Amino acid sequence: MTRFSRAISAGITAVFRAAAVSVIITRGTSTADADAVPGTSAREDADENGVTVRYEYSDFLVYAMEYAFDSVEVEPQPGDTITVDSDVYEVVPFGPDTCWNWHDPDGTVRRVHTKLKASE
């Protein structure tokens, strides 16, 4: 591991210690408990009239090893849900891109893109 990788890893660990919340990840009938750091992402696209439209997503940073069902690490898929307290977020693609991307150069933390589906 390089000095840069160690520094990134230490920073991510600090962020998780300071800001992580407990979540439940669900796919069908399978669930997983995980710690995740909530955040946001935004992108802009032009609509059919050339008007710029801004889209905002609720993101969650999740350690890849915790995005697992029956102890098997899996990639996030559209339709998965992440529940925080009584708020349910659905995993969705980030515009034309995939629903997740690596957050760190070592591939240990995923940034999962979601939209609020239900709130009580």
Q: What is the mean pLDDT of residues 66-91?
A: 96
Return the structure tokens found at 20.
């992580």
Q: What is the mean pLDDT of the chain?
A: 92
**What whole-number distance in Å separates Cα of residue 24 and Cα of residue 42?**
24
**64 φ, ψ to 5°?**
-55, -40
Q: What pLDDT is stored for residue 33 in this prediction?
A: 97
Structural domain boundaries enclosing 96: 3-118
| Band (94; pLDDT cuts 50, 70, 90) | confident
Dump pLDDT digits (tens) for 40-76.
Answer: 988 888 888 889 988 888 999 999 999 999 999 999 9
Return the structure tokens found at 99.
């629903």
Four-residue CA torsion sign, 58, 87, 78, 72:
positive
Tally of domains in the chain: 1
pLDDT at 112 over 70: yes
Amino acid in position 39: G
Q: What pLDDT is stored for residue 1 in this prediction?
A: 67
Q: In 10 A of CB 48, how many CB atoms?
A: 5
**Residues with Cβ within 8 Å of residue 104, at least 6 apart in sequence:** 8, 9, 12
